[in-house]
Structure 1
Amino acid sequence: MTRAGPHIETDAIVIGGGFGGCNSLYKLRNLGLSVKLIEAGSAFGGVWHWNRYPGARVDSETPSYQFNIPAVWKGWNFSERFPGDDELRRYFQHVDDVLGLSKDTVFSTIVTKTEYNPVSRRWTLQTDTGLTATCKYVIAATGSSYKKHYPQFKGLETYKGTLVHAADYPDSLDVKGKRVGIVGNGASGLQIVQTLAKEECELNVFIRTPCFTIPMHQRSITLEEAEMMKGYYEGIFDRCYKSAAGFPHNTRYQSAHQATPEERKELFDELWARGGYSFLVSNYYDFLLDEKTNGFFYDYWVQKVRQRMTNTEKMDLVAPLKQHMFVGTKRPSLEQDYYEMIDRPNVTLHNLKKAPIVEFHASGVVTGRGDDLHHHDLDVVIFATGYDAVTGSLLDLGVTDKNQKSLTEKWENGVLTHLGLMVPDVPNLFMVYGPQAPTSLANGPPFIEMEVDWICKAIEKMQNNGIESIEPTQQAAEQWREQVFQASQRTLYPKTDSWYMGANIPGKRREPLVWLGGIPSWWKCCTDALEEWNGFHTSP
């Protein structure tokens, strides 16, 4: 329940304190606007403020996973190729120390209503603490991974053990000597499993769909190497802005069908040895477009994985010889020693396709079908079940448009945006890392920087031309939605149930939630639109 409290009047409100929110606050202040940021957590970091589960680590590598702000990066060096959650929280503290963001931030506050007044042409925000705010511009930088998904199993409320979500993992949880169950097999589930398997515990991993993984090849970065790399930052970030997915990797404009089997293996071996996302983003371009090419990738991958394991039954579950998925159409995970860890005797794998979870009760879970039921006693259950991704956190803001229609109602028949940046009849509300933009298929920080730059250019153009508000036209948004669908249909993504398609949440509409045409084509549409306000309605 919202309590009466203080009020803020300002030019712009930024919601969310991750990469998108921090970048927005910094750049909008540089425009001369008065800006306040409202953050649900007690510190900056976004998903890295919340992610504290064992083994939590980013899978975009440094140095491209950071703000391209010289004042920030000159005084900071990451110690690992793929930094862990602790180091990323320290990084965000450094960002605040340099840019002074916290002086314009309200922490530990959740926005519950975001309502537009068409008479005053201002937004009013309400929060769970009683704080209210009025502003001209709203930047919704709530991210794709905030609203946690809890599966609704029968009898879950009767479970007497410890139940945690990966995004709410308590520092005090000790699993030593305990029977632990892990439900969920995406990036967080994988990282938790490969970490907890080393503990003196009995690990039960409940797997419905095996994950597709790539070796991380983690390593330390010396201070000398980190400082040397700064001489290449301009080129590295420029490459990120121009690449399909925001990574600085080379792109291969060749179909796998144009190569011999020997040539394919040579390239696969080379990219596999590099680790990270090179195996996907620097490989044959058509692996997400052509089923046969995708099969080449799968066949190579499955042999690489199986040779690291000894238990045939486990091997057949996590890396079956017959292709069971299209490589890359679910979020690929980076692993360090996942397959060696699940091969250990203290780890039991449960095939949920053969024997799904039927119910929870006081001491654990029951799996099986019909009369063939099995009870599993568990002291701890960890839900690594992800998020209501991309749209969930936006809908929780309680956005109401100029016609008093909620965003939930507006998107009842599908998400509708223009360029993934704005919504029809929702003036001066900009989305960062939202739906129908490259978002979750892009390396976050460089892509977010491009979005924030566009927003700042739009606001600056409004100020210079006496424009009070902008909003996309219904026609432009419908045309963009059709482009999003057409880009998706050219790929293998629609053939897979994933959170990219909204398929991980029961009852959620199945549709492409991200732009699958790559950053350059999206960015051209954005810059063209800004030139003459194409697809936008402006009001003086």
Structure 2
Amino acid sequence: MSEVQEFDAIIVGAGFAGVHQLIQFRKLGLKVRLLEAGGGLGGTWYWNTYPGARVDSENPIYQFSDPELYKDWNYTEKFPGWREIQQYFEYVDKKLDLSRDVSYNSRVVSAVWDDTTDRWTLTTEAGDVYRVQWLSLCTGIGSKYYIPPYKGLDSFKGEVHHTSRWPTDYDLKGKKVGVIGTGSTGVQFIQEIAPVVEHLTVFQRTPNLSLPMKQTKLDLEEQKKLKEYLYPIQFGRRNQTFSGYLHDLDMKPTLEATLEERVLNYEDKWEKGGFHFWIGSYGDIFFNQDANDVAYAFWRDKTRARINDPEMKDKLAPMKSPHPFGVKRPSLEQNYFEVYNQPNVALVDVNKTPISEITPDGIKTSDGTEHKLDVLVFATGFDMVTGGITSIDIRGQDGVPIKEKWVNGVRSYLGLGSATYPNMFWIYGPQSPAAFSNGPSTIEFTSEWIADCIKHCRENKISHIVPSKEAQDAWSEQLQQIASMGLWMGAKHSWYMGSNIEGKKVEILQFPGGVPAYYKAISDSVAKGYEGWTLKQATA
């Protein structure tokens, strides 16, 4: 075993959350180390470099709100792609010299708490050992990719790739490609490669109720003007809207609007693009089925008009919604539905003809058809929200791994920490708003909350802080109660509910009450003397 390295704090993960946490911990004067499994900053944008990968949050709010950072940075597109986001992280790194406090290619495999010393001992895959007082998990919601255990996968003679581990400069031109999965990644990937491959076969379980991105180029001079006045207003507005975006839900009930009012509202949101039609329109689509049906009918008719073949219309935009609209995060597309008008693109509905096995030459479905392929691509997503944490062997005061404790359901307090795991926090993870919000919006104030908590403990000679079981049970129950009032369970296969992973507990994994309510909850705990937390005074 290597020599133990002593730090005040360890951060795991170098995406937006990990970088912001590193900045905050530096301000506290902590001796800190950030451990990153990859070879660079960026988190999900380090790993997800497949053709078409781009963010679905529009700028300027998909960046840090620090004027010292945004004043010299300009994106070229409203929805930047992975290359430009990587360039942004390189810019931030150079500006703040972050890498001097980062250990790259350092995957954490275990974290064990010692209650006698109030310290965590972390071990990496390479055998490096760290002992720290504070542990911040910034592993994100999509760090553990998932490939279903298909029969015969090892027999396939062609190439197999998961989108989150895409090979550099890989060319699909002229190849017969099969794509399993039509989530957000699948939509982006499919629309990008369809024009260049010889033939594309898409295997779809659930139609993606994608919305038009309405991508635009950004003007440099206009951005400079906005920074002088509007950027601070826009960044301040993020914490006031339900989802942390600049647009907000309309609380007027859908069916109280006249037909004319409703259609004009929908048309306006549709033309604005992005998530405006989803989380910038009538808010009762999340809990009123009749309202949801009206929204789906508008989406359906808009989408079917773009598809030529009647059978393809029914596969991609069926007359009856496959699940309530909006209870699965929609993808943003640019020409996804037009792709299926191409003669070289086929769509297989695996509900009607399931995949029976992977053969040496391709994929065989239950009707006996063998789809010949050169390349098989899994756009099958991740063990979302919890996978990044449960993939680490984390043992707290009772020595029980957190993965075992969460088998029957996630338990946390405020989506920040869990009982019996002192001095351990996470950002943008289980039971926080996470993907119900724009990432940087909730990441920043959560990161600041954790830094302020550590500052409070240091100033008041508190050696550890941990959620009480009663507080965590109450918070977890509150989440499920909020979810039960909505239509979330209407989606059979949803990573929002954990139901995309076989055997995983089906439950709401993120806080569905909105960003302002979450911000108030974590702020109220502090105002009441860290209510719900147990604080241990340090011995002399």
Structure 2 length normalisation: TM-score? 0.98
| In 1, Cα distance between equivalents of 2:172 and 2:407 | 42
| In 2, Cα distance between equivalents of 1:189 and 1:327 | 19
- Give 1:128-527 correspondences, 5 Å limit: 128-230=125-227, 231-368=229-366, 372-497=367-492, 498-527=494-523
1:428–1:470 CA contact under 8 A, matched in 2: yes
Is 1:108–2:89 an aligned residue pair? no
Shift of 1:250: 3.9
The code of the aligned residue for 2:516 comes to: P
The code of the aligned residue for 2:473 comes to: E
Shift of 1:7: 3.5
| In 2, Cα distance between equivalents of 1:294 and 1:198 | 34
| In 2, Cα distance between equivalents of 1:412 and 1:499 | 16
| In 2, Cα distance between equivalents of 1:384 and 1:6 | 41
1:8–1:134 CA contact under 8 A, matched in 2: yes
Which SS does the other structure have where 2:75 is aligned?
coil
Shift of 1:173: 2.4
2:176–2:197 CA contact under 8 A, matched in 1: no
Shift of 1:200: 3.9
Percent identity, aligned pairs only, is 39
The code of the aligned residue for 2:290 comes to: K
Is 1:126–2:123 an aligned residue pair? yes
| In 1, Cα distance between equivalents of 2:383 and 2:368 | 30
* Cα shift readout 1:24-65 (whole Å, capped 9, x = no counterpart): 000111011111000001000000001111110100011001
| In 2, Cα distance between equivalents of 1:7 and 1:86 | 37
Structure 1: where are the runs of 5+ without partners?
A: none
Which SS does the other structure have where 2:25 is aligned?
helix
1:194–1:342 CA contact under 8 A, matched in 2: no
| In 1, Cα distance between equivalents of 2:22 and 2:334 | 36
> Which residue of the partner structure matches residue 35 of structure 2?
38
1:6–1:130 CA contact under 8 A, matched in 2: no
Which among 523, 529, 535 is matched to residue 525 of structure 2? 529
Shift of 1:408: 1.2
| In 1, Cα distance between equivalents of 2:429 and 2:4 | 27
1:189–1:384 CA contact under 8 A, matched in 2: yes
1:244–1:518 CA contact under 8 A, matched in 2: yes
The code of the aligned residue for 1:462 comes to: C
* Cα shift readout 1:467-491 (whole Å, capped 9, x = no counterpart): 1110000000000011010110111
| In 2, Cα distance between equivalents of 1:169 and 1:494 | 32
Which SS does the other structure have where 1:358 is aligned?
strand
The code of the aligned residue for 2:509 comes to: L
* Cα shift readout 1:502-532 (whole Å, capped 9, x = no counterpart): 0000111111100111111111111111121
The code of the aligned residue for 1:530 comes to: V
Which SS does the other structure have where 1:209 is aligned?
coil
* Cα shift readout 1:302-360 (whole Å, capped 9, x = no counterpart): 11011112111111100111222211111210000111112111101111111010001
2:242–2:248 CA contact under 8 A, matched in 1: no
The code of the aligned residue for 1:118 comes to: D
| In 1, Cα distance between equivalents of 2:454 and 2:168 | 42
| In 1, Cα distance between equivalents of 2:387 and 2:320 | 35
* Cα shift readout 1:211-240 (whole Å, capped 9, x = no counterpart): 011100001001112112212111111110
Structure 2: where are the runs of 5+ without partners?
A: none
Shift of 1:447: 0.7
* Cα shift readout 1:70-116 (whole Å, capped 9, x = no counterpart): 11111100000000000000000001011111000000110001000
| In 2, Cα distance between equivalents of 1:87 and 1:505 | 31
1:16–1:140 CA contact under 8 A, matched in 2: yes
| In 2, Cα distance between equivalents of 1:174 and 1:363 | 20
Aligned Cα RMSD in Å? Answer: 1.0
The code of the aligned residue for 2:354 comes to: P
Which SS does the other structure have where 1:164 is aligned?
strand
- Give 1:41-60 correspondences, 5 Å limit: 41-60=38-57
Shift of 1:6: 4.9
> Which residue of the partner structure matches residue 91 of structure 1?
88
* Cα shift readout 1:423-444 (whole Å, capped 9, x = no counterpart): 0010000011111111111100
2:177–2:197 CA contact under 8 A, matched in 1: no
